A and B are shown apart, each in its own frame.
Chain A
Amino acid sequence: MSAEPHYTLYHPRWYRRRVSVWWWLQNRSYAGFVLREITSVFVAFFAVVYLWQLRALAQGPEAYAHFLARLKTPGFLALNGVAFLFVLFHAVTWFNLAPKAMVVRLSGKRVPDWIIAGLNYVAWLALSGAVAWILLPG
């Protein structure tokens, strides 16, 4: 038969509902939260790709040609396509949250959220343009 319930004096066993590992699929905003958390995996993936490119550049022309050939394989193209969407999702959610994380006051008044988010988007455009300008030949 059932054993005696295990009671301890100062640490009772609380009643806790078991939560499924898929709890975040029940609600759109939970799913959005978990998708946003998962973007970090693709951020790390691309940081590693860049490290790989850097090492190939350091090792010489053959290593670099090998790196370029690998990036042209369908697997890497598909992975980079998915990674691009996730990184874009990270950027948009990050900029939209910036006003919550960074409260700026000018002469005692709080700068409106849309101005702070807007400045982030302007910086994003300017930096993207600068990177493209440097990397694109001619």
Chain B
Amino acid sequence: MPRPVTPFLWFLFSAGGTVAALLFPIHLLLTGLAFPLGWLPAPSYEFLRALVQHPLTRLYLFVFISLPLFHWAHRFRYTLYDGLQLKHLTELIAVLCYGAALVGSAMAAYTLWNFA
């Protein structure tokens, strides 16, 4: 990694980690477990659509999806280096990890921008 980029990537890692820590447990508990298992009544399709149409919700969802993906990219990169001892593949791993986070963020931005 060129040196001036590193602090920026670290900022994305840290911001994404905070978003994931504060917001992922409740969303995962509701969307992933409580709603599918019928523990709690799930919001309707119409309600969620109306919610996503609000600009603030779109901003929230973009931050919610994009930053944690960059958090993953940064952390997983070092997991591969240290855990699996793949230090010799540095460039390839960095391109794949940050590239995947970029693609996911672009898809989120595109979907949110065109949400009618």
The interface of chain A, by Cβ under 8 A from chain B, is 19, 21, 24, 34, 37-38, 40-41, 43-44, 46-51, 53-55, 57-58, 61, 64-65, 68, 71-72, 76-77, 80-81, 83-84, 87-88, 90-91, 94-95, 101, 120, 123-124, 127-128, 131-132, 134-138
The answer to whether A61 touches B69 (Cβ under 8 A) is no
Q: Provide the bound-state CA to CA distance between A41 and B80, in Å.
A: 12
Q: Provide the bound-state CA to CA distance between A33 and B32, in Å.
A: 26
Minimum Cβ distance to chain B for residue A131 (Å): 5
Q: Is the interface of A mostly helix, strand, loop or mixed?
A: helix
Q: Provide the bound-state CA to CA distance between A38 and B75, in Å.
A: 8
Q: Which residues of A contact B65 (CB under 8 A)?
A: 47, 50-51, 54
Q: Which residues of B contact A43 (CB under 8 A)?
A: 16, 20, 24, 68, 71-72
Q: Is the interface of B mostly helix, strand, loop or mixed?
A: helix
Contact of A54 among B43, B83, B108 (CB under 8 A): B108
Q: Provide the bound-state CA to CA distance between A94 and B79, in Å.
A: 17
The answer to whether B43 touches A91 (Cβ under 8 A) is no
The interface of chain B, by Cβ under 8 A from chain A, is 14, 16-18, 20-33, 35-37, 40-45, 47-49, 51-52, 61, 64-65, 68-69, 71-72, 75-76, 78-79, 82-85, 104, 107-108, 111-112, 114-116
- Chain A-chain B contacts (Cβ-Cβ < 8 Å), number: 154
10 contacts between A and B (CB under 8 A): A40-B71, A40-B79, A43-B24, A44-B69, A44-B72, A50-B65, A54-B61, A87-B20, A87-B24, A124-B21
Q: Which residue of B lies closest to A102 (CB)?
A: B14
Minimum Cβ distance to chain B for residue A87 (Å): 5
Minimum Cβ distance to chain A for residue B16 (Å): 8
The answer to whether B111 touches A58 (Cβ under 8 A) is yes
Minimum Cβ distance to chain A for residue B92 (Å): 18
The answer to whether A49 touches B76 (Cβ under 8 A) is no
The answer to whether B69 touches A53 (Cβ under 8 A) is no
Q: Provide the bound-state CA to CA distance between A101 and B13, in Å.
A: 13
Given the interface pairs A21-B84, A94-B18, A135-B43, the reply to whether A51 lies near B32 with Cβ below 8 Å is no
